[in-house]
Structure 1
Amino acid sequence: MFGPGDFFSPGLFHAHVTNLAYSPNHKCALSYIKAWGGTMSETAATAQPHAGADKKARVSWMLFDWAAQPFHTVILTFIFGPYFAHHIAASGAEAQTWWGWAVAIGGLIIAFLAPILGAISDATGPRKPYIALFSVLAIAGAFSMFFATPGTENAVMIALVGLVIAMIGFEFAAIFNNAMMPDLVSRKDLGELSGNGWALGYVGGVTSLIFILAFMATSDPETGKTLFGFTPLFGLDGFNYEGDRASGPFTAIWYLIFVIPLFLFVPDAAKKRAAKNAISLGLHKLWATIKTLPERRSYFAFLASSLFYRDGLNALYAFGGIYAAGVLGLSVTQVGIFGIIAAIAGALGAFLGGKADKKFGPKPVVAASCLILVLACLLVVSTTQTYVLFAFPVDPASSAPLLTFYFAGTLIGAFGGSIQAASRTLLVHQVRHEEVTEAFGLYAFSGRATAFIGPFAVAIATGISGSQQIGISPIVVLMLLGLIGLYFVKQKGPAD
């Protein structure tokens, strides 16, 4: 699962002001708002939290994760990514390089615009217009990827431009969807709502992936049949891999159908007069918060540490399919099976990680997960079609490399799930109770703002070396930096 829970919250400033307003120094907070041109009245700032939305609204909000997850599962990682490596790019190394640049550019655009658009949204109120706008980009970008036909002159450009547009659309739609969450339930129920949405996203990703593997994607190039032995649906030509390309339009249509309940049943924030200097207000508050971080060593160390291991993990998700296709020669179907295994392992890992978190605390879970992810990365890097663990040659017909990769993928799925779940708990340990909302906003923003580091590093290393194995090595370095940074993190901080 690529990136559930690591989006920037455009409600960051509003959440911080709300926390200040509930604190004993709320008058000071109100003075601060007025000094920077805000329009919030003391009555509004000190109003009690709402009772929450009804069940239909909450389920409709969670369906957004179900709707959007196939982009990460089907396009970014397990179907279109390997298709790009096998049939569009000239080689696996070229595919990894170009894919890395596209993901990095998309991430950089998102990081630059997220705080600005978030500030404007907080000042103007409603989020649905932004979700609608970026949904159009998401659908258009995903749909256009069908036209990346093998052997055509502009296939690489069509695929990569479509990827960047779709990525920007899906990510920004998710940002504004996440901003609606505090308006749906009371603060004590935010974790449950978020977790249920995350779980539904896993299910949506796996369901869409299984459907495409069973009924659309070409499994046997000699017969043009799917994994289940069917002729691809909708008249798609299996010999020309139209089913693999159609993963783009499938993702677009899936999203279009399942995002509709959000617009119909989820209440939106009321429209309000735009705050004076909304952009400068939001950016100034964010910068003011960042400047205080070095004084809080454990909190700062956690944000820095998580920045590295989340970048590494996200890059691992983004490049797993392309690496498997280029180095191990896995087919789209085999990579898809790997994706199903990893997603199931991720759900199980998050569940068992929560149990371990409850017994031992979050820091040991995060540290152990980070260490095992490093070992899993080394296992992947050390395995090719001709040897395992660098030193053990295997017969070209042997299934050992495939089984080794699947085993590593299971570890990545399981401990990737547990590290993300336990990280949220460890964050709560770093802050006071009244700072939790702001902390999660800053945590999400820092992850998105630096999400381009991993893809950039992989793209540069692959381009220079011409080797996918060497090119993937920066992910190991990022995970190790994250593990080292955890040494300076205290498990129990101001929240206690």
Structure 2
Amino acid sequence: MSDTAADTGRPLPRRPALEADPGRTSWLRVLGWSMWDWGAQPFNTVITTFVFSVYLTSEAFGDENTTSMALSVATSIAGLLVAAIAPVLGQNSDRTGRTVRNLRIQTWVLAALSASLFFVRPEESFLWIGLALLGAGSIVSEIAGVNYNASIDQVASGRTVGRVSGFGWGMGYLGGIIVLLLIYLAFIQPEVGLFGVTGDDGMDIRVSMLVCGLWILLFTLPAFAVLKDPPRTEAVPRIGVAESYRLLWQSLRRLWSSSRHTVYFLLASALYRDGLAGVFLYGGVLAAGTFGLSAGDVIIFGAAANIVAGLSTMAFGLLDDRVGPKRVIIISLGALVVIGLAIFVLHDAGTGVFWALGLAMTAFVGPAQAASRSFLARVIPEGRSGEIFGLYATTGRVVSFLSPAAFGIFVALGAWITGENNTQYWGILGIGLVLLAGLLVMLPVHEHDGHSVTAD
């Protein structure tokens, strides 16, 4: 990218790696690539959303408001650490050409951290141990996601990047269904589960964490069979942390000069992606604490939600390649704000309302996430994937305190206004406010220069 100022009103042209479409996309390679989404999904679906976070905010670890706000604090701290290191590590992957190697190591660490949650017993003294492990896993998961996103140009072309991105996200959701049902039927639902596991001492949840670690380890292997680092032709000099940040600052200045609307997109996506993360982070908490779903019911809801999310994300991926990712993002965010407000208004209408509105909400989260990845993939200059996707992670994590903080503030505000002991449902207003802010900032962002309307 040149240091000279270009037309600052336009985003970057699509990079050469995605500009050309020399032939049909190899969907066998796409399937292998997407298995990382499938394999890594237990951390997001089982651990962060529907099982372990619900376990940590249960009465065994303290009262509901205290544990919910503690989860918000831990999540915020982890997000700030991601913001500090993601672009530098992404830049390092670009410079050394070891994106896939780094992804492999980070995936193994994520599997180990997931399995280590087995040691978190249902006692108040284990709350912060569980939160620390959960936060560490969140950091590793985000950094691994930077390298995974950067690898999309190994399997997608400019004409298919929307479908490929949507297919990957969809595979992740569908993988989440399988692992949720597996642990529910094998350990959580039966009084005595597989291998004699029961709910005593939280053993059904804890053994499920071991399953998650093994799932991550095994099912990401196909991705590493497909993805390869390019051969290195010369040694790459090591640089220090300070020099890495100096180079990062130079990159930001060049990006601002040559592609101001790409920067605007990074800012807008930072806001709404934090809101999207909040939907998943607190969805299971609200299901159990506000609408009274049992742990088993939360898992069944999670499985149904993943089916809806997976299919809708794949369908919207096709729309992405035809009408552009920005329209998909705008439609999804608008729907989420409206549905979130409806959940708040109807919070005491029973579990049926939560099922209907919750499933409707999940239909729009995945499409917004997948379209964001394809939006950015279309404009990244060749050889800068890790760095720019690192910035993508950083801009999201710089404001990652917003959804947890907004959730916690509105929970406290609701308690002050109503005098109720459990005001978790007020937290949805905080999440909706973050999503609305992202939507408003996204509206004036210019899309990339053209997108194909021709299907393969």
TM bucket by the smaller chain?
Answer: 0.7 to 0.9
SS of residue matched to 1:206: helix
Q: Is the 8 A contact 2:291 2:351 kept in 1?
A: yes
Find out whether 1:488 has 2:451 as its counterpart: no
AA at the equivalent of 2:367: S
AA at the equivalent of 1:119: Q
Q: How does 1:407-418 map to 2 (within 5 A)?
A: 407-418=356-367
- 1:209 alignment partner, one of 180, 195, 207: 180
- 2:146 alignment partner, one of 175, 179, 184: 175
Deviations 1:336-377 (A, max 9, x none): 122122222223333454566677665554333322211211
Deviation at 1:113, TM superposition (A): 0.8
Structure-2 separation of matches of 1:187 and 1:142 = 35
SS of residue matched to 1:451: coil
Structure-1 separation of matches of 2:156 and 2:271 = 32
Question: What is the RMSD computed on CA atoms of the aligned residues?
Answer: 3.7
Q: Would the alpha carbon gap of residues 415 and 285 (structure 1) be closer, same or farther in structure 2, given more than 3 Å must change?
A: same
AA at the equivalent of 1:274: V
Deviation at 1:312, TM superposition (A): 1.0
Structure-2 separation of matches of 1:428 and 1:133 = 23
Structure-1 separation of matches of 2:380 and 2:104 = 36
AA at the equivalent of 1:330: L
SS of residue matched to 1:154: helix
The aligned counterpart of 2:252 is 287
Give 5+ residue unaligned stretches, structure 2: 7-16, 416-422, 452-456
Deviation at 1:111, TM superposition (A): 1.6
Find out whether 1:374 has 2:366 as its counterpart: no
The aligned counterpart of 1:71 is 43
The aligned counterpart of 1:144 is 116
Higher mean C-alpha displacement, 250-259 vs 418-427: 418-427
Deviation at 1:166, TM superposition (A): 1.8
The aligned counterpart of 2:208 is 247
Q: Is the 8 A contact 1:428 1:495 kept in 2?
A: no
Q: Is the 8 A contact 1:141 1:164 kept in 2?
A: no
AA at the equivalent of 1:447: G
Structure-1 separation of matches of 2:377 and 2:108 = 36
Percent identity between the two aligned chains: 32
Q: TM-score, normalised by structure 1?
A: 0.74
Higher mean C-alpha displacement, 73-82 vs 131-140: 131-140
Structure-2 separation of matches of 1:61 and 1:465 = 44
Find out whether 1:196 has 2:167 as its counterpart: yes
Deviations 1:354-408 (A, max 9, x none): 5666776655543333222112112222344xx33xxxxxxxxxxxx10111111
Deviation at 1:121, TM superposition (A): 2.2
Q: Would the alpha carbon gap of residues 443 and 289 (structure 1) be closer, same or farther in structure 2, given more than 3 Å must change?
A: farther
AA at the equivalent of 1:176: N
The aligned counterpart of 2:81 is 109
Report which structure shows greater RCO (CA 8 Å, sep ≥6): 2
Find out whether 1:130 has 2:98 as its counterpart: no
Deviations 1:50-69 (A, max 9, x none): 99998776544322111101
Q: TM-score, normalised by structure 2?
A: 0.80
Deviations 1:167-203 (A, max 9, x none): 2222223322333333456565554543332222122
Give 5+ residue unaligned stretches, structure 1: 1-15, 24-44, 226-230, 389-400
- 1:402 alignment partner, one of 351, 354, 357: 351
Q: Would the alpha carbon gap of residues 406 and 355 (structure 1) be closer, same or farther in structure 2, given more than 3 Å must change?
A: same
Deviations 1:111-155 (A, max 9, x none): 2111111222222222344234423432232122122222x3522
Higher mean C-alpha displacement, 433-442 vs 447-456: 433-442
Deviations 1:25-70 (A, max 9, x none): xxxxxxxxxxxxxxxxxxxx9xx99999987765443221111011
Deviation at 1:267, TM superposition (A): 2.0
AA at the equivalent of 2:280: Y
The aligned counterpart of 2:368 is 419
Deviation at 1:313, TM superposition (A): 1.4
The aligned counterpart of 1:328 is 291
Q: Would the alpha carbon gap of residues 88 and 105 (structure 1) be closer, same or farther in structure 2, given more than 3 Å must change?
A: farther
Q: Would the alpha carbon gap of residues 51 and 435 (structure 1) be closer, same or farther in structure 2, given more than 3 Å must change?
A: same
